[in-house]
Each structure stands twice: as structure tokens, then as C-alpha cells.
Amino acid sequence: MVEFTVPEVDYTRYTNRQLAAVPLAVLVVALLVIAGWYVATGAPVNQGIEFTGGTEIQVAVDAPPAQAEEQIQQAFSVEPESIRSVPTESTYIVTFQSDDGSSVNPSMLEQQAEDAGFEIRAISSVSPSFGGDTQTLALGGVVAAFLGMSLLVFAMFRTFVPSIAVVISAFSDIVIPLAMMNVLGIELSLGTVAALLMLIGYSVDSDILLNNHVLRRSGDFYESTYRAMRTGVTMTLTSIAAMIVMTVTATIFGIQLLAAIGTVLVFGLAVDLMNTYMLNLSLLRWYKYEGVAR
């Protein structure tokens, strides 16, 4: 049986500014990426057809991969947004997005696929208006979850610095994965929105665990921190390992949605380790020794 031991970090070697500098710098870079993406594309992150509207058609093409993609490009009068292969089934998922608000005619695409000699495995379509409503509901759910989490944290600790430390960490845990989605070409979909909601839960869990050990349990600051790390780091690394396995498996079998969710969660959980045990901890130590709690 493999035993995992969390190393005890000597935090006395680092000042609060040094601990907070790295996560804050990463957060600033992430915000710049999102802002630049918004200026360039009109949206902070690329959106899937669930939010913009469009059509997704799954076809089987009897040709080598390079030739198959070329045949798919030539078969349709509308340029595909993306063409993804499913290796285990020798099929291709072709996405047509309605970015300009106009709808793509599924019947026309189906007819063109049949004329090209493709075998149609599945076809689904979302209207631009329905996609816009779905986007509003999904993003509204994320905002409501974040605000509810913030109110709950302030009600639990009733002091500004420990509470704002949790909120900032949770905010960073969402923003940095969003920036990574832009860099890696992962679209915002209902699945990735669910992953972001999960990250809020993971973030609050690890941050509240640290705050409770430091502020409400016996022992000095560093002893309490290490007790929290033994549980929190082990829990997060176990989740990261599980998400990596899911991502690799989903990629091999061509399950794009699960691969996207797993990738977002892997990056988000890694960011959560940084924010919890560097940014949050630096604010807690300042509060404990230099702030109003002194």
C-alpha cells in the first residue's frame, strides 16, 4: 500500500509579501488574458454551441484522417467551427456555430452530408435565442453560487480578513482556469460551467479547513497550518489524480466534454493549492500577528 506524506513547509523562511506575490501575479496575468480575449473576440472566453446556438453533426467517413477532414470541409457550404475525431468509432464530430445570431439549417447540413456519402450517426441543434437564454441562466448560476458562498463565509467567520481571504482565493480559482481555457482552446459549455461550480466548492472547502484550524483550534499558527495541510493537500492531490485519469481516458476514447471538464478541474485544483497555502495563508498570518487580532 502506497503511503502519501505531506511535507512540512518552513513558512518562516518567507515573508507574507513573498507568499502572496506569486498567486497574485498569476491572477493578474489571467485577468489580462481574459481582458485581451474580450477585446479581440467580444467575449471573455470562447463559447460552445449551447450558448451561441448552432448544429453538431456526427458522421462516419471512410477515408484516412487527413483526407476525411478535407472531404468534410468540402462537403458543407458553411465552414465548420471545429472537426473532432472519435478514434474508437472512426467518426467525426462537426460543429457549426451561430456566432452572428443567425441559425444554421440542420436539414441543409444533413442533406449535404448525405450527398457527400457520409454516414450520419447523430445530429443536434440549438437555436441562437435558446442558447442566449441558456448562457444567461448558466452564468447567473455561477454568480449566484459565488455570492452565496461569500455571504456564508462572512457569516461563519464574522471578521473581514479571514473572510476576504477565502473569497479572493475562490475568485482566483475561477478566473485562472477561465484564462487557461482560452489558451488551451476549451470552449465554455454547460459541462465546463459545472466544472467551475465544482471549483467554487473545492476552494471553499480547502480554505475553510485552513481558516478553522488556524483561528478556532488549539496550537500555534504553524502547527495548525500543518494539520490543515495534511488533510487539505492529501484531499486535493487525490482529486487531481482522479481528474487526470478521467481526462486521459476521455481523450483516448474521444469524449470531448469529459476531457474538457477534467482539464479545467486539474488546472483549477492545482491553482487552489497555490491560492490556499500561499495567498490565503499569507493573509491569515498577517491577520494573526500584525492585524487587528494582535
| Cα gap 32→1, rounded to integer Å | 45
Q: Answer yes or no: is 225 within a domain.
A: yes
Which residues make Cβ contacts (< 8 Å) with residue 240, sequence separation at least 6?
266, 269, 270
Beta bridge partners of 124: 56
| Cα gap 63→73, rounded to integer Å | 14
Q: Among 70, 99, 126, where does a domain finish? A: 126
> Among all chains, which residue has been given the C-alpha cell 485552513?
210
Positive or negative: CA dihedral 101, 138, 185, 170: positive
All three cell numbers of 140: 447567473
Do both 167 and 216 map to the same domain?
A: yes
| Cα gap 244→238, rounded to integer Å | 10
Number of compact structural domains in the chain: 2
pLDDT number for residue 239: 94
48-68, pLDDT tens digit by residue? 888 888 888 888 888 777 788
Do both 152 and 235 map to the same domain?
A: yes
Q: What is the mean pLDDT of the chain?
A: 87
Domain around 75? 54-126
Q: How confident is the model at residue 102 (pLDDT cuts 50, 70, 90)?
A: low
CATH number at residue 110: 3.30.70.100
| Cα gap 86→78, rounded to integer Å | 22
All three cell numbers of 36: 485581451
1-47, pLDDT tens digit by residue? 445 677 788 899 999 999 999 999 999 999 999 999 999 988 899 88
Do both 166 and 258 map to the same domain?
A: yes
**C-alpha 22 chain-centroid distance:** 20
Q: Answer yes or no: is 1 within a domain.
A: no
Compute CA distances 71 → 116, 122, 123, whole Å. Answer: 8, 18, 18
Do both 274 and 250 map to the same domain?
A: yes
111-124, pLDDT tens digit by residue? 888 888 888 888 88
